[in-house]
Amino acid sequence: MDGQDLVVIALSGVQRFIEESRSTSDLRAGSRIIAELTEQAVSVCQESAAELVFPAPSKKRKDVGMPNRVVALAPAGQGTTLAQRATARVNEKWKEWLQKTLGRIEETPGMPAVTWAVAPPRPGGYPEQWKEAQRRLAARKQVRNFTALEARNGPCQLSPHWPATTKPPKGLPSFERDTLSAANWLKRKLGRPNDKESVSPYGIPSTYGIASAPFRIEVLKNINDPDVTEQVDYLHQVVQDEDTGIHIPNWPLPGMPKPQGELAQWLWRHGGQWVYTDSWSAESLAREFRKPTSGEAFDNFSRTVEIGRIAAADLQKIMRDKFQVAPPSSYLAILVQDLDGMGSYLSEEKNLSHKRHTEISDQLRRVAERQTELLHDSALLGVAVYAGGDDLLAFLPAATALAGARACRQAVTEVSPELPTASSALLFFHRKYPLRLALAASREALAAAKNVPGKNALAVSYLRRSGTQETYVQKWALPDHNDPEALVCDRLSLFTRSETGARLSPRLLRDLERDSHALCTLSLDLFTAELQRLVHRHTLAPTSEQQKAFALKAAEQLRLLGRPTSALEDSEKISEQSLIAAARVAVFLRQECR
């Protein structure tokens, strides 16, 4: 083993390529493209005499747990040839996709960007090779090839650093006629569903489909009710009507069981957008689907669309009055997670061996598989964009987001308590909010969590359609004597739903923002009593008993959530900043998580 070359092959610019997406399907397709390009490099290693270190082989799905880096041991003197062959294989696959998608090959500088380094045998063996390979790889990444390109059609709408292609793919629906580069058309084509497919490794549901999933599940449970059937049938007919032409193929959620019957299956797969009344704007739909925007043709289109709007409103009313089901939430959540100090962990002396790195690689693969399994369960209704073990990006409905963050964090310790702790961010955003901006905000929230001393933190943030946002950051563990195992998401979960129907008024924030400085100077007993009074005053509930019970619980949780992140050992200390942020997030959860 000491006489082998250590080869490290990395795909650069991965996060940027994936997140420069307009839709969730673009995003997922970008992730799958990176995973399959990495798989090309892995295949070269497997065909040769090289021994893989990263990634660990999987007996389940290749798209789960696949990182953007390959580490292998090759016979001495053969490492450079192996890396060059792997690079060539990756580029060949990319060109093959472009040829199939566009019918030609166009230049896309920087994609794929394969960087590699080879560390020959060293007297110190694998530990010295690992350090040398990391140094060489970092140096290689500083080298840039600035290829000049003429943007005759202007820049790409999603990736301005690439020119838009001169000839978009043929056969595109009107609502997908964007100005995109060849690389982004590849994502768009691979991520676009059709009616013949029910599942695919490339696509995931739209933001509408994820946000409305809990509501649609309740509708599907009652689909045989005549009133429910009638309204869903109206929605189906209007969307499928050839004159309206507003059918948008979509992907089903992995956690939603496929129902029986054509109507139920339509709602299960394609109905995510159409259960919202604000989706039925004739003016917006006419512009999106290139329909007439004035005259008699528009009037006819508008009357048909109005039938759909009324059906969506009536369906919500029937579900509320007959089955006590709240309207579909307009919010969903992005979950991002990253293991703390993974690079340093791999370079620790106790871990710096070929055998130990192989073990860690296998642990990360199993973490990714477990997280994907949990997210895709019917209890969470989530969907993983990518899961690499030390890195996770997923979407969840608002109602299950906190539980999903908890489950994915615990999956790390369940698989291996030896792995580093996980810091996470949960961003709630409106289904109509630009996806790229929401992804950027989630990364900022994750950076805030990882900036907490000692890390191992969770950031919970919301981003309203108006652009208003707040981020609450706290250590994952937030225990007290009554619940020594409690996590911060457990404290916040009280505010997502209420069995009694009690809810917080936003006016609580006005009083807390005005009086927080004085409140935080009080003794713990006085602070607790005053906080209970304020919460009780701004709690709305069907009965006074329910109001009092909820106010006591809510005030206690806010007191605990108000602890400073850097001094959790001082249970009597309250941070004004943490208290206000926690209250803002709590009010948001009370309003939108259903």
* Backbone dihedral angles phi then psi of residue 144, each to the nearest 5 degrees: -125, 140
Predicted local confidence at residue 59, as pLDDT: 64
Q: Give residue for tokens 């981003």.
A: 463
CA dihedral in degrees (94, 97, 98, 99; nearest 10)?
120
Query: Could you tell me which of 48, 46, 41 has the C-alpha nearest to residue 75?
Result: 48
Residue 152 · residue 177 · CB < 8 Å: no
The 3-state DSSP class for residue 115 equals strand
Output the pLDDT for position 65.
Answer: 66
Residue 13 class from Cβ within 10 Å (0-12 exposed, 13-18 middle, 19+ buried)?
middle
Query: ω before 112 within 30° of 0 (cis)?
Result: yes
pLDDT in the model for residue 293:
83
Going along the chain from its start, the domains and CATH numbers come out as 4-140 (3.30.70.2220), 213-323 (no CATH), 330-476 (3.30.70.270), 495-594 (no CATH)
Question: How far apart are the C-alpha atoms of 332 and 462, rounded to whole Å?
Answer: 10
Q: ∠ CA(465), CA(471), CA(472), 5° rounding?
A: 140
pLDDT for 540 equals 87
Strand partners, 69: 10
State how far the Cα of 332 lies from the Cα of 476, in Å rounded to an integer.
Answer: 21
Judge contact between 424 and 409, C-beta under 8 A.
Answer: yes
Q: Residue 100 is encoded by which pair of tokens?
A: 């199939």
Distance of CA 257 to the CA centre of its chain: 21
Q: How many Cα atoms are found within 13 Å in the side-chain-facing hemisphere of 82?
A: 32
Radius of gyration (C-alpha) of the chain in whole angstroms: 26
What is the pLDDT, as a whole number, of residue 180? 86
Span between the terminal Cα atoms of the chain, in Å:
56
Q: Which residues pair with 458 in a beta bridge?
A: 424, 474
Pair 273, 209: CB distance under 8 Å: yes
Q: Which two tokens stand for residue 268?
A: 């299960």
pLDDT in tens, the chain (594 residues): 458 999 999 998 888 888 888 889 889 989 999 989 999 999 999 999 889 998 877 666 566 767 889 999 999 999 999 999 999 999 999 999 888 878 888 878 888 889 999 999 988 899 999 999 999 988 887 776 666 666 667 888 888 888 888 677 776 676 677 788 888 888 888 877 665 555 456 678 999 999 999 999 999 999 999 999 999 999 999 998 877 888 888 889 999 999 999 999 999 999 999 999 999 999 999 888 878 888 888 889 999 999 999 999 999 999 999 999 999 999 999 999 999 999 899 989 899 898 999 999 999 999 999 999 999 999 999 999 998 868 999 999 999 999 999 999 999 999 999 999 999 999 999 999 999 999 999 999 999 999 999 999 999 999 998 888 999 999 999 888 788 888 999 999 989 876 567 888 889 999 998 988 888 888 888 998 999 999 999 988 888 888 898 899 999 999 999 988 865 554 568 889 999 999 999 999 988 888
Burial class of residue 405, CB neighbours in 10 A (0-12, 13-18, 19+) = buried
pLDDT at position 64 is: 72
pLDDT at 86: 95
Give the per-residue pLDDT at 148. Answer: 63
The pLDDT of residue 143 is: 75
